[in-house]
Amino acid sequence: MLIHELTHAQCVEILERSRLARLACSHQDQPYILPVHLSYDADRHCLYGFSAVGQKIHWMRGNPKVCVEIEEIDSKDLWTTVLVFGRYEEIGDSPEDSSARQRIWSLFQQREEWWLPAAAKVQAAERPTLVVYRIAIDRATGRRAVREKA
């Protein structure tokens, strides 16, 4: 197996086609990682997500430094991984966030069941507090493993 570093363009290609990622955040030196659905915005070089308020939102509000991992695994010796290091930012209802909200909704609509899993666990009678957020990308890095040719 050979492992290659990905170029920036290759990392962006993975971000553009991926929807499922793992989001890592931390609170008082305790890491927390979970699967999330994200949409990449190539024009603004960021990731957008959507969630009911819970542990990850509370933790990211307290410490906005996050890491996102996206992987494509075909086998133990044929895989690609991209890591994104960035900052959590909430998108609010203010007039300043209006264009961001419009962009986010258009990106979400390109994905089937875009509201999953963020709102899936919410019971019909409940009215959860929902948060739309952005991961502003500071840097991205990636690696790809390929089989050695005999």
Q: Which one is predicted more confidently, 93 or 49?
A: 49
Structural contact between residues 142 and 14, judged by C-beta atoms closer than 8 angstroms:
yes
Q: Is the pLDDT of residue 129 over 60?
A: yes
Span 30-69, pLDDT tens digits: 999 999 989 899 888 999 988 889 999 999 999 999 999 9
Decide if 148 contacts 2 (C-beta within 8 A). Answer: yes
Question: pLDDT class for 104, splitting at 50, 70, 90?
Answer: confident
Domain 2-146 annotated CATH 3.30.1370.60: no
The continuous run of DSSP H or E covering 37 comes out as strand 30-37
Between CA 65 and CA 42 the distance in angstroms is 21
- Give phi and psi for 12, each to the nearest 5: -60, -40
For the chain, how long is the longest CA-to-CA vector?
60
Res. 96 pLDDT band, cuts 50 70 90: confident
pLDDT at 137 over 70: yes
Boundaries of every domain in the chain: 2-146
Question: Residue 140: what pLDDT?
Answer: 97
The answer to whether 20 touches 35, Cβ cutoff 8 Å, is yes
68 near 21, Cβ under 8 Å?
Answer: yes
Task: Give residue 110's pLDDT.
Answer: 66
Average model confidence (pLDDT) for the chain?
85
Q: Which pLDDT does position 150 carry in this prediction?
A: 66
- Is residue 12 predicted with pLDDT exceeding 50? yes
